[in-house]
């Protein structure tokens, strides 16, 4: 059984799509190979979700983002490579967002721990990369929100539990 580290943590993520490409963080994979993630991260005490997303994007991708609507909410159990196994319960809020037309991808002043680069990846290439968390592949490209799919369910950081519970 994996021990969960308290407390539950909210995280905001930005889905930035331009000209059939999505903006992603390229990360070293901690022995799991290269992986990609959406910009964003944990909400700090006193921040709104949108304030957290603006701060995280400035730190990670080095620019101010224009935040649109909330696309999805998902619970995610992120495993840590520790002995004994530990993990964190995250509630992730995925927002549509945009950057200035002249934005050139680059690391911000405070990139993620394993962040190597910021890149545009074609939507048609997503099936060939490792996106983390894996459930995000179900969210890109975004679909018309009809209200039924705003809450995606619960996901675990292992292949056996890919489907929401």
Tens digit of each residue's pLDDT (9 = 90 or more) over 89-136: 999 999 999 999 999 999 999 998 899 999 999 998 988 999 988 888
Mapped to the 3 state alphabet, what secondary structure does the chain carry?
CCEECCCCEEEEEEEEEECCEEEEEEECCCCCCCEEECCEEECCCCCCHHHHHHHHHHHHHCCCCEEEEEEEEEEEEEEECCCCCEEEEEEEEEEEEECCCCCCCCCCCCCCCCEEEEEEEEHHHHHHCCECCHHHHHHCCCCCCCCCCCEEEEEECCHHHCCCC
Q: What is the mean pLDDT of residues 32-36?
A: 86
10-22 confidence digits (pLDDT tens)? 999 999 999 989 9
pLDDT of residue 85: 80
Higher pLDDT, 62 or 158: 62
Asked if 112 and 27 count as a contact pair (C-beta separation under 8 A), the reply is: yes
- Mean pLDDT across the chain, nearest whole number? 84
Q: What is the mean pLDDT of residues 59-63?
A: 98
Asked if 60 and 25 count as a contact pair (C-beta separation under 8 A), the reply is: yes
- Best mean pLDDT range from 28-42, 67-81, 86-100: 86-100
3-160: CATH, from 3.90.79.10, 3.30.530.20, 3.20.20.300, 3.40.50.300: 3.90.79.10
């Amino acid at each position: 059984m994996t021990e969960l580290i308290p407390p539950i943590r909210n995280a905001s993520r930005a889905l930035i799509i331009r000209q059939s490409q999505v903006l992603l963080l390229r990360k070293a994979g901690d022995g799991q190979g290269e992986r990609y993630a959406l910009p964003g991260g944990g909400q700090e005490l006193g921040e709104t979700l949108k304030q957290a997303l603006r701060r995280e994007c400035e730190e990670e991708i080095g620019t101010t983002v224009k935040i649109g609507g909330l696309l999805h909410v998902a619970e995610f159990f992120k495993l840590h490579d520790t002995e004994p196994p530990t993990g964190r319960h995250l509630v992730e809020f995925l927002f549509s967002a945009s950057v200035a037309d002249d934005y050139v991808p680059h690391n911000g002043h405070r990139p993620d721990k394993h962040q190597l680069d910021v890149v545009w990846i074609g939507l048609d290439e997503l099936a060939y990369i490792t996106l983390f968390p894996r459930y995000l592949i179900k969210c890109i490209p975004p679909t018309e929100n009809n209200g039924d799919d705003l809450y995606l369910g619960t996901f675990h950081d292992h292949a056996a539990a890919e489907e929401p519970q």
